[in-house]
Structure 1
Amino acid sequence: MSKQYDAVIVGAGFGGMGAAIQLRRLGYRDLLILDREDDLGGTWHVNRYPGLAVDIPSSTYSYSFEPNPYWSRLFAPGAELKDYALHVAEKYDLRRSMRFGATVTRAEWDGSRWTVGLDGGETVTATYLLAATGFLSQPRTPDIDGIDTFRGDVVHTAAWDDACDLAGRRAAIIGTGATAVQLIPELAKAAAELTVYQRTPIWVSPKPDYAVPRALQTAFARIPQTQRLVRLLGSAVLELMMISGVIHYRRFRLANRLAERWCRAHLRRQVSDPELRRKLLPDYSFGCKRPTFSNDYFPAFTRPHVHLETSGISRIDETGVITADGRRTDIDVLVLATGFNLWDVNFPAFEIIGRDGKNLGEWWRENRFQAYEGVAVPGFPNFLSLNSPYSYSGLSYFTTIESQMKHMDRLFTAMRRRGSRVFEVTQRANDDFLARMTEKVGQSVFALGQCATANSYYFNQHGEATLLRPTSTVNAHREAVGFPLTDYTYA
């Protein structure tokens, strides 16, 4: 018989670790954290492409209860985020609950517990199931005719091959999202020729990146209040950008326009060629697609061996790429910066069957993507989905993680006070929350801006922007500690 756990958490990234820390605080000790990779860290373990760094200030990209005073830069490189994840796991004794190389394929509620199936046929059971598989965990391979016939090296940014040497070689990269913005300048340094295939340009603003002086790191370590102040200021700036210019677009269109002008000025300063500038300038509203920061992305395109291609790709053959207008480029290496598939295979990342055989993936796709407070779904008792519709709050993922930890604290405390072991969100509470979120999205840039050409992962296949929570982070945290307990049933 398989062992019965208090909770199974799927995913050993920052979301899964935050959930485990909160469950430990609540007294649950028998936890199992499953991850398909060979180590913890989630995104920061899987991704290791050249130029990888956090794209918001590091001071905001960490648990507030576990600050890191030793970030080397304002925007820390990816290796430091991996080290931070290792530090958190060690300090909070999480590794002993982790099991790697364990791919979850299915989970089913049997009326009293969850049975979780793993690749290979093994099953484990638990009272509670928490999905922390992340938003960007299922890489997307472009559906381009002939891509499987290419005889050169093919590498996806989410599975970077360190042995792939670009020196003296002809390379092509498909995609110009936030990942590509970091990677393209590095590829331009190494490749003899680099062709960038762009479907959608991206809004890019100046990156105020600088090394954090040792003296300041020491001050952060000795006087934690100083770092908390920096975190507060950084969070306030991000909140202003996200809430005023994007979420409250109807009332603050001027803020959105100012953000666009700031990005346009950055492009104009760095690219003198008007035709190249035109190709790199988005034709959709700021915020429809996640913007980013960079000081070296635009200059990379001004180098003589870097070529920007905006014609669609017709096909790929054994040795090169052919665009829709018939032009051919022979290459040695093909880099795929084509992002992730959120809405077809990541919501959820494995099959989840709730009460009365309710299939979560099918229900979401047939009845709109929705989750009460971004964590709970009616018909799925004792289940919390930490990467769900309307869950992502603000621009720092840690804002989302910590609001969900607060929600867990209130929910599990209420349940245990009642002597209950089973919770389930009510249909009424879910419907009310969905209606409120839908109304707020209607005030945002996603509904009122020009987003048709953004090709943004914020939008699902039904054209709804249901990824981000359309409220302030203050609101998200306030509701996490004060949602009506009657929004759940307990047994």
Structure 2
Amino acid sequence: MERNLDLRYVVIGAGMSGILAAIRLREAGYRNVTLLEKAQTVGGTWRENRYPGLNCDVPAHAYTYSFAPNAEWSSYLAPGHEIQDYFERVTADYSLRDIAHFGQEVESCVYADGVWRIATKAGMACEADIVITATGVLHHPRMPDIDGLGDFAGTIAHSARWDETTPLDGRRIGVVGNGSTGVQLVSALGGRAGKLSHFQRSPQWIMPVLNEPYDEEQRDAFRRDPALIDAIRYDPQYLANVLRFTEGIIKPDSEEMQIIEAMVLGYLEQGVIDPVLREKLRPDYRAACKRLIFSPDYYQVVQQHDVDIVVGGIDRIEPEGIRTRDGVLHELDLIILATGFHSDRFIRPAVVTGRRGVALDDVWRKHATAYNAISLPDFPNFLFLNGPTGPVGNFSLIDVAERQWGYVEQLLDKVATGECDEISVSADAMTRYEEARIAAAKGTIFASGCSSWYLGKDGVPMTWPWSYGRFAEVMAQPDFDDFEMVKAEVTA
């Protein structure tokens, strides 16, 4: 059936998912595609984060679009600046700057009379028949609730607002927070700082990983034979690790989770010699309750004489440094806040208003959610990529987004071919999905007794709680019985 190629699409966000959506829409022949980005270039989280030691903990060749292989990765796990360069290059290769509008943070999206009306803070206004929301999860930095945050006489910076001119060598540096960002910072700064203090609210389980560099001979082989890239992207051992992880998440007492726990426990026991330090680094919760940290060298770095692990909690920040609850003042020149992001914001603070004046803020008052992480009732033709309740964990979000796009394309075809003018999940299907998701989420390892950014205000994980295999199956074919498809009335 012939498709209407003049439908107006607006893609919000030019990170990994937004780039994907814009490319796929233009490849499908749609002539009216607009890409809105709040910043001055593409890249999303890889543009926002530039801190020392930044890298992706997914193999570089797996964290790559399936249609745009990259032979130039310098190592098995790519550093952040190379990932940003990759997205810039893909943007250029597909001429996305022709349709991109930068510095255009969306202020409001309002649905009325079958059209989405979009306004940006910079004053741009546009209309869309279909909106693709690709704003991502980790882009609103979370500042810690610590007394005296503004009293520090030295330099203080959030890791996602890093100034690359900040002096590091020989300075007394404190890193607050020990998720993947904090661990990467400590690994990068150990040996450079005069004194490095890592302030931990709770320790992390660390999974060992090798990060072997690729030499020029290997990169040349990748250029000549893309099958060598696919061999890494689809490496059976890597895929087995992903399967083990996703199965372990949903079955906390499974053999898969026991293997994961044995690996991280063995790494701690064998990797840290000093028994006192080892106990400082031993978590009191189960492995993978928080997002697993992959690091080739964190345990080695924290055993250096110039690195100190500080536990017991921060009392306040003073002009000279950080005072912990035991009364000790840790004198510092630089404090780096590796305290993460508000993971429940997504497109917010933009005000989104759907059919009959339904406000997204009201729908998400308890927690952010979407049917299969893609659609919401009363928000027709408004679709998410990497939206709320999607799969999260130690695997490639590019693979997640590409699978989601295959699903989204099938929804769009219903509108493009004229079968309907509006498509969105039905209220009944949304209720059934969310009830089943919450029940399953409560049984995952994420709900086994720790605090993490995966948890909503009610303590329930805000994630896909089933296997990755089930996610792939669901994404392969929408259940159109779960969707409300509306045909506009034709008036004489």
Q: Is the 8 A contact 2:173 2:332 kept in 1?
A: yes
Question: What secondary structure is seen at the aligned counterpart in 1 of 2:61?
Answer: helix
Matched, 1:484 2:479: yes
- In structure 2, relative to structure 1, the CA distance for the partners of 1:111 and 1:200 (3 Å cut) is farther
By how many angstroms is 1:165 displaced? 0.2
- In structure 2, relative to structure 1, the CA distance for the partners of 1:474 and 1:333 (3 Å cut) is same
Match of 1:249 in 2: 252
After TM superposition, list the pairs within 5 Å mapping 1:140-155 onto structure 2: 140-155=142-157
Question: Deviations along 1:296-324, whole A, 9 cap, x unmatched?
Answer: 21122212222111121111122221112
Question: Greater shift after overlay, 276-285 or 186-195?
Answer: 186-195
Q: Is the 8 A contact 2:177 2:200 kept in 1?
A: yes
Match of 2:74 in 1: 72
By how many angstroms is 1:235 displaced? 4.7
Report the AA paired with residue 247 of structure 1.
Answer: I
Report the AA paired with residue 470 of structure 1.
Answer: P
For 2:334 and 2:310, the matched residues in 1 are separated by 16
Match of 2:3 in 1: none
After TM superposition, list the pairs within 5 Å mapping 1:129-278 onto structure 2: 129-233=131-235, 235-250=238-253, 252=254, 254-278=255-279
Report the AA paired with residue 302 of structure 1.
Answer: Q
By how many angstroms is 1:167 displaced? 2.1
Q: Is the 8 A contact 1:393 1:399 kept in 2?
A: no
Question: What secondary structure is seen at the aligned counterpart in 2 of 1:17?
Answer: helix
Match of 1:55 in 2: 57
Match of 1:459 in 2: 455
By how many angstroms is 1:27 displaced? 2.7
After TM superposition, list the pairs within 5 Å mapping 1:414-425 onto structure 2: 414-425=414-425
- In structure 2, relative to structure 1, the CA distance for the partners of 1:419 and 1:346 (3 Å cut) is closer
For 2:440 and 2:65, the matched residues in 1 are separated by 28
For 2:296 and 2:228, the matched residues in 1 are separated by 28
Question: Greater shift after overlay, 352-361 or 237-246?
Answer: 237-246
- TM-score where L is the length of structure 1: 0.92
The number of residue pairs the alignment matches comes to 479
Matched, 1:302 2:303: yes
Report the AA paired with residue 283 of structure 1.
Answer: D
Match of 1:411 in 2: 411
For 1:71 and 1:120, the matched residues in 2 are separated by 36
Q: Is the 8 A contact 1:13 1:43 kept in 2?
A: yes
For 1:66 and 1:440, the matched residues in 2 are separated by 36
- TM-score where L is the length of structure 2: 0.92
Match of 1:6 in 2: 8
Match of 2:88 in 1: 86
For 2:400 and 2:212, the matched residues in 1 are separated by 26
Matched, 1:331 2:332: yes
- In structure 2, relative to structure 1, the CA distance for the partners of 1:474 and 1:240 (3 Å cut) is closer
Question: Greater shift after overlay, 377-386 or 300-309?
Answer: 300-309
For 1:347 and 1:261, the matched residues in 2 are separated by 39
Match of 1:108 in 2: 110
For 1:199 and 1:426, the matched residues in 2 are separated by 42
For 1:240 and 1:479, the matched residues in 2 are separated by 17
By how many angstroms is 1:330 displaced? 1.8
By how many angstroms is 1:428 displaced? 2.0
Report the AA paired with residue 481 of structure 1.
Answer: A
Q: Is the 8 A contact 1:5 1:32 kept in 2?
A: no
By how many angstroms is 1:83 displaced? 1.7
Report the AA paired with residue 485 of structure 1.
Answer: F
For 2:43 and 2:84, the matched residues in 1 are separated by 6
Question: Greater shift after overlay, 28-37 or 471-480?
Answer: 471-480
By how many angstroms is 1:184 displaced? 0.7
Match of 1:315 in 2: 316
Match of 1:383 in 2: 382
- In structure 2, relative to structure 1, the CA distance for the partners of 1:124 and 1:151 (3 Å cut) is farther
For 1:163 and 1:223, the matched residues in 2 are separated by 39
Report the AA paired with residue 257 of structure 2.
Answer: N
Question: What secondary structure is seen at the aligned counterpart in 1 of 2:437?
Answer: helix
Report the AA paired with residue 351 of structure 1.
Answer: V
Report the AA paired with residue 277 of structure 1.
Answer: R
By how many angstroms is 1:194 displaced? 1.5
Question: Greater shift after overlay, 419-428 or 163-172?
Answer: 419-428
Question: What secondary structure is seen at the aligned counterpart in 1 of 2:348?
Answer: coil
Question: Deviations along 1:186-211, whole A, 9 cap, x unmatched?
Answer: 22222211211101211112112101
Unaligned runs of 5+ in 1: none
For 2:471 and 2:183, the matched residues in 1 are separated by 30
Unaligned runs of 5+ in 2: 1-5, 488-492
Match of 1:281 in 2: 282
Question: Greater shift after overlay, 387-396 or 204-213?
Answer: 387-396
Q: Is the 8 A contact 1:176 1:201 kept in 2?
A: yes
Report the AA paired with residue 289 of structure 2.
Answer: C
- In structure 2, relative to structure 1, the CA distance for the partners of 1:349 and 1:380 (3 Å cut) is same
Question: Deviations along 1:262-299, whole A, 9 cap, x unmatched?
Answer: 11222223321111111111111111111122122112
Question: What secondary structure is seen at the aligned counterpart in 2 of 1:107?
Answer: strand
Question: What secondary structure is seen at the aligned counterpart in 2 of 1:59?
Answer: coil
By how many angstroms is 1:384 displaced? 0.9
Question: What secondary structure is seen at the aligned counterpart in 2 of 1:259?
Answer: helix
Match of 1:358 in 2: 358
Match of 1:437 in 2: 437
By how many angstroms is 1:360 displaced? 1.2
Question: What secondary structure is seen at the aligned counterpart in 2 of 1:430?
Answer: helix
**Considering only aligned residues, what root-mean-square deviation do their CA atoms show, in Å?**
2.0
Q: Is the 8 A contact 2:208 2:294 kept in 1?
A: yes
Report the AA paired with residue 380 of structure 1.
Answer: F
- In structure 2, relative to structure 1, the CA distance for the partners of 1:5 and 1:141 (3 Å cut) is farther
Question: What secondary structure is seen at the aligned counterpart in 1 of 2:234?
Answer: helix
Identity over aligned residues, as a percent? 33
Q: Is the 8 A contact 1:12 1:42 kept in 2?
A: yes
Q: Is the 8 A contact 1:393 1:471 kept in 2?
A: no
By how many angstroms is 1:177 displaced? 0.5
Report the AA paired with residue 462 of structure 2.
Answer: T
- In structure 2, relative to structure 1, the CA distance for the partners of 1:214 and 1:473 (3 Å cut) is farther
Match of 2:35 in 1: 33
Q: Is the 8 A contact 1:12 1:132 kept in 2?
A: yes
Question: What secondary structure is seen at the aligned counterpart in 2 of 1:221?
Answer: helix
